[in-house]
Amino acid sequence: MLGQMMQQPLLISSLLQHAERHHGAQAVVSRRVEGDVHRYTYRDLASRSRRLAKALAALGVQPGERVGTVAWNGYRHLELYYAVSGSGTVLHTLNPRLHADQVAWIAEHAQDRVLCFDKTFLPLVASVASRLPTVRHFVLMADKAHMPADEPIPGLLCYEDLIDGPGDDHFDWPRLDEDTASSLCYTSGTTGHPKGVLYSHRSTVLHTLASSLPDALNLSARDTVLPVVPMFHVNAWGLPYSACMVGAKLVFPGPALDGKSLHDLFEAEGVTLAAGVPTVWQGLLAHVSGNGLTFSTMRRTIIGGSACPPAMMNTFEDTYGVQVIHAWGMTELSPIGTVGVLKAHQQQLPLPEQRALQAKQGRSVFGVDMKIVDEDGQELPWDGQASGELLVRGHWVLAQYHQGEQSPLVDGWFPTGDVATIDADGFMNITDRAKDVIKSGGEWIGSIDIENIAMAHPGVAMAACIAAKHPKWDERPLLVVVPRANAEVSREALLGFFDGKIAKWWTPDDVVFVDAIPLGATGKMLKHRLREQFEHHLLAKA
């Protein structure tokens, strides 16, 4: 027997329709690339998103085709979030912090048809435009007054001209199958080329609902939310959707992410919740403490991307009265997997024990299940001691990569590449990573890419890139090199060899020269031994 309830597909457009109807007067505030602060409402957002959807259709964008963005957090980027996905096309957010070659490769792999970008990134986009054969239209996210006098990209379109096109804002959002693709994000948390994760309307709406729960990010219409985490980084952890769904005031920082700019915006707009990686909060706390400031309204901060240092957590909580919500996830998880909100009985524990729990990656939100397994794939107990590979499954977990030939799943579970423990209360703690990648300030750096470049140097016989602990960035790449016999190669020459080949921030912080790199029985480098030997190398130099 089937239930007799309405069938309403879970669609991203429904989030915007709800916000317009029930929270239409709520504010969306953006510090713009132009330098000023822009203000409008969810009602304005909905109207302009409909106009944009019509404009994209007029440009010939077909259902299922990809519209790329290279943009900061702001209202125009938010309009693209809803206009693109809501109309049945696919939003593809590109990370401008990557090397130009990677940006070009990703845009071509995604087969973007339109590329929309902030003026900040005009030089980047202009440098790769000729290498993007699938892109039919380039759109500068600006008004007429801020368009370039010359034409750095032939046929460059003006975003505001598209919004102000002929006709009214009437547009009927299509009733899509909820499994229709909605957005596309690429992860650099793997070796080799980045991989695309193609989200659906269903997975996104379910993620939005679960992430807003009290034991997750705890969002409501009473909040003022400022996502510092970029909208090009796993859809800003879903906050552009969840804030819209609950009717929270949204504040976007644009390109100004320094401590002073953020604190000024927090205070001016009454921000109650902010989200970002630890390195951003280091700059904010340094500004606040250095100038004798405090937080008037901010009460919660979501910290993810990399582990929150205990000292930072203590400073937020004890000095400024700001609750730290430690979260963990992956691009493949949309991204939220676990959140470190304490259970009732844990709140009765002594403060040091509470903080130790908060320092873990947290417990699953509804919609995500997890387990740890040994080398034979056997599930291990949740006793806080047994350590094994972390696997996850759920309503918004990847099943297969975009254009991937094989599913990465193992018996229906996604292998995260992390090694973790889980305690009896379900709190997960990552203890190591199986993948040879480096997480610097919340951003992934592929070690094999760095090794391949180093090995191309004529003076290098063998090279390994490992994660070394860093006082500011959590981890930074350290290059371990065996020089060729009779070759003269210096640290400066090797580091200079990376110029122009990778993003500058991927360049290793230092080079260590050794006589040999330990190898396993199959000839694979034993990087765990190098990490044991050199993981504190950069701390010792600091």
Residues tagged active-site: 187, 332, 439, 444
- Give the β-pairing of 66-70 and 112-117: parallel
335 cis-preceded (ω within 30 degrees of 0) = yes
Cα distances from 533 to residues 192, 278, 494, in angstroms, run 26, 26, 21
Q: DSSP states of 318-351 as a string?
A: IIH--EEEEEEE-GGGSSEEEE-PPPTGGGGS-H
- In this structure, the chain runs to a length of 542
Cα separation, 225 vs 526, whole angstroms:
44
442 φψ region: left (φ > 0), alpha (ψ -120 to 50), beta (else): left
Cα separation, 171 vs 47, whole angstroms:
9
Give 150's DSSP letter: S
Cα separation, 111 vs 109, whole angstroms:
5
Cα separation, 255 vs 243, whole angstroms:
20
Cα separation, 129 vs 140, whole angstroms:
13
Core vs surface per residue 302-320: b (16+ CB within 10 A) or e: bbbbbbbbeebbebbbeeb
Instruction: Show the tokens assigned to 533.
Output: 């030997």
Is residue 248 a contact partner of residue 340, using CB atoms and an 8 Å limit?
no
Cα separation, 22 vs 172, whole angstroms:
18
Cα separation, 90 vs 67, whole angstroms:
6
- C-beta atoms surrounding 12 within 10 Å: 29
Cα separation, 100 vs 94, whole angstroms:
11
The β-bridge partners of 336 are: 329
The side-by-side arrangement of strands in the sheet containing 27-31 is: 37-41, 27-31, 249-252, 224-227, 273-276, 300-303, 323-329, 336-339, 363-364
The tokens 């970008």 sit on which residue?
Answer: 117
Cα distances from 248 to residues 77, 167, 237, 241, in angstroms, run 17, 30, 16, 10
Q: Which residue from 207, 215, 211 is spatially nearest to 225, judged by alpha carbons?
A: 211
Output the CA torsion sign for 89, 90, 91, 97. negative
